[in-house]
């Protein structure tokens, strides 16, 4: 493993305490056998019918990725509107504020009670089965930028857990070609299991960039809808910014 040249280094680490809401950028993450610690513990729902947020499916949800999230040191969820104060969630006050922002009766709800000690309200069903790790390279972002120069291929459009800074590979989204290979990221060992097929979430505006259908259009045309890869975990570990990434 040590004989392999480094592919690059970790430049961004993310977790997403609440599905579809903005992620939390960290200096280190703990990767377990099934997911990142603190990832996707809560969902946002339309309180009138329990529908869970799907920004890729309808305009009523398009402002959801603007809502910031973080976990406190004691693993309590907090949310904030753009420019607003942090509020504890789930909580009637944060639900009131989010409802006013979205224009309908909305509520943050945990997937399991252990995610929100003391919470006695309704739960929500997980929107999808979580994959352990989503990895993206800056080389793929550079390839998308070359195909779509007027666009902003910000990593936040794609919601990775790990972003690897590496040199561009001309004409290639390189990690899509690594399927089945193993990656060592510091002490973490991953197997690249499948490409990440993109949806309409990627075109939606977030803080710092606008709505852009060209993002998805170019991925459909040039990389079969894909950017980034899903990985399974062979050896769990803590990962920090700057960790070297190698084939194992």
For the domain bounded by 8-35+130-247, which CATH number is listed?
Answer: 2.40.33.20
* Residue spans of alpha helices (H) in the chain: 92-102, 138-147, 213-223
| pLDDT value of position 155 | 98
As a whole number of angstroms, the distance between CA 2 and CA 108 comes to 45
* Residue spans of alpha helices (H) in 41-199: 92-102, 138-147
As a whole number of angstroms, the distance between CA 234 and CA 122 comes to 35
| pLDDT value of position 58 | 87
Name which of 28, 18, 105 is nearest 66 in CA terms.
18
pLDDT along the chain (248 residues), means of 10: 80 97 98 94 96 92 97 96 97 98 98 92 81 93 98 97 97 96 97 96 95 98 97 97 97
Q: Does 90 sit behind a cis peptide bond, omega within 30 degrees of 0 on the bond before it?
A: yes
For the chain, the structural domain boundaries read: 8-35+130-247, 42-115
Read off φ and ψ for residue 113, nearest 5 degrees. -65, -30
| pLDDT value of position 10 | 98
Total H helices, total E strands in the chain: 3, 15
| pLDDT value of position 51 | 94
- The two three-digit tokens of residue 230, written as one number: 């899903």
As a whole number of angstroms, the distance between CA 244 and CA 6 comes to 6
DSSP reduced 3-state for 143:
helix
């Amino acid at each position: 493993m040590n004989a392999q040249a480094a592919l690059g280094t970790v430049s961004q680490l993310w977790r997403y305490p609440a599905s579809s809401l903005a992620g939390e950028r960290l200096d280190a993450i703990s990767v377990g056998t099934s997911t990142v610690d603190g990832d996707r513990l809560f969902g946002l729902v339309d309180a009138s019918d329990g529908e869970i947020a799907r920004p890729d499916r309808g305009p009523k949800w398009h402002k959801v990725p603007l809502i910031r999230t973080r976990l406190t040191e004691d693993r309590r969820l907090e949310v904030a509107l753009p420019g607003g104060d942090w509020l504890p969630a789930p909580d009637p006050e944060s639900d009131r504020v989010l409802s006013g922002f979205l224009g309908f009766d909305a509520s943050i709800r945990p997937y399991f009670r252990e995610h929100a000690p003391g919470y006695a309200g309704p739960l929500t069903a997980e929107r999808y089965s979580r994959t352990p790790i989503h990895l993206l390279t800056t080389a793929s972002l550079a390839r998308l930028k070359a195909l779509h120069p007027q666009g902003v291929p910000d990593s936040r459009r794609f919601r990775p857990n790990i972003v690897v800074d590496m040199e561009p590979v001309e004409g290639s989204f390189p990690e899509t070609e690594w399927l089945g290979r193993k990656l060592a990221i510091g002490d973490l060992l991953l197997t690249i299991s499948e490409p990440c097929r993109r949806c309409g979430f990627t075109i939606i505006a977030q803080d710092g960039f606008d709505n852009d259908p060209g993002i998805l259009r170019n991925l459909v045309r040039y990389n079969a809808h894909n950017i980034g890869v899903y990985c399974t975990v062979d050896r769990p570990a803590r990962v920090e910014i700057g960790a070297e990434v190698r084939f194992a």
